[in-house]
A and B are shown apart, each in its own frame.
Chain A
Amino acid sequence: AQSVTQPDIHITVSEGASLELRCNYSYGATPYLFWYVQSPGQGLQLLLKYFSGDTLVQGIKGFEAEFKRSQSSFNLRKPSVHWSDAAEYFCAVAFADNDMRFGAGTRLTVKP
């Protein structure tokens, strides 16, 4: 069955430290892949997306993500986290026939 998994419910990092948020999917083909961010009380903002081509994609706010076909993963990274990055992050996957699903989300806390 098609599914999206974000294994980490909550992650805490220190400001200035690096960040990696995990996302795995289950699908028989390569889907389109996305990362969204949602700050408290705000709507979802698209950080980046992967359709095809270069497996390392750059997004807004200094984020990047790498698609690894062999691992069915699309992990989000940032070299140096800022306090303003504290939010909830959602991985999303577009399967065939416009089926679009989200992971359960990872809540990021940034320590001063």
Chain B
Amino acid sequence: DGGITQSPKYLFRKEGQNVTLSCEQNLNHDAMYWYRQDPGQGLRLIYYSQIVNDFQKGDIAEGYSVSREKKESFPLTVTSAQKNPTAFYLCASKRNEKLFFGSGTQLSVL
């Protein structure tokens, strides 16, 4: 089955800790995205990548980092600099202007 896999489904972060959210796709898509969803704020773009070894900041990149070493993988690290990380995180890939979403990761702070 082709698709986008996000893991874990739920993640807890302690103060001062970095955590990494996984996003893997087997759709052979070049473009991949990370969005953060908060109630009343819609989906806000954190980072996106057009191709391997390339990525651009979105509207709310501060406190986050990404890498794109392989086409299939676009992990997101929430660093300790992100002071309000509790949110639902969605990964997506795009082909022919159609977005394919993962099932999301809910990140909470302990």
Interface residues of A (CB under 8 A from B): 6, 9, 32, 43-44, 46, 49, 51, 90, 92, 94, 97-105
Q: Are B42 and A98 in contact (CB under 8 A)?
A: no
Least distance between B57 CB and chain A CB atoms (Å): 10
Interface residues of B (CB under 8 A from A): 31, 33, 35, 40-45, 48, 50, 56, 58-59, 94, 97-99, 101, 103-104
Q: Are B40 and A104 in contact (CB under 8 A)?
A: yes
Please name 15 pairs of A and B residues whose Cβ atoms are closer than 8 Å in the assembled complex, sorted by A.
A6-B42, A32-B97, A43-B101, A51-B97, A90-B43, A94-B97, A97-B56, A98-B31, A98-B94, A101-B45, A102-B45, A104-B41, A104-B42, A105-B40, A105-B41
Q: Are B97 and A99 in contact (CB under 8 A)?
A: no
Q: Are A105 and B42 in contact (CB under 8 A)?
A: yes
- B residues within 8 A CB of A46? 98-99
- B residues within 8 A CB of A43? 101, 103-104
Bound complex: CA A38 to CA B101 (Å): 12
- A residues within 8 A CB of B33? 100
Bound complex: CA A51 to CA B42 (Å): 22
Q: Are B98 and A98 in contact (CB under 8 A)?
A: no
Q: Are A100 and B94 in contact (CB under 8 A)?
A: yes
Q: Are B48 and A98 in contact (CB under 8 A)?
A: yes
- A residues within 8 A CB of B103? 43
Which one of B42, B58, B94 lies within 8 Å of A90 (CB-CB)?
B42
Least distance between A104 CB and chain B CB atoms (Å): 4
Additional pairs, 15, CB under 8 Å, beyond known A9-B40, A100-B94, A104-B40 = A6-B42, A43-B101, A44-B99, A46-B99, A51-B97, A92-B99, A99-B45, A100-B45, A101-B59, A102-B42, A102-B43, A102-B44, A105-B40, A105-B41, A105-B42
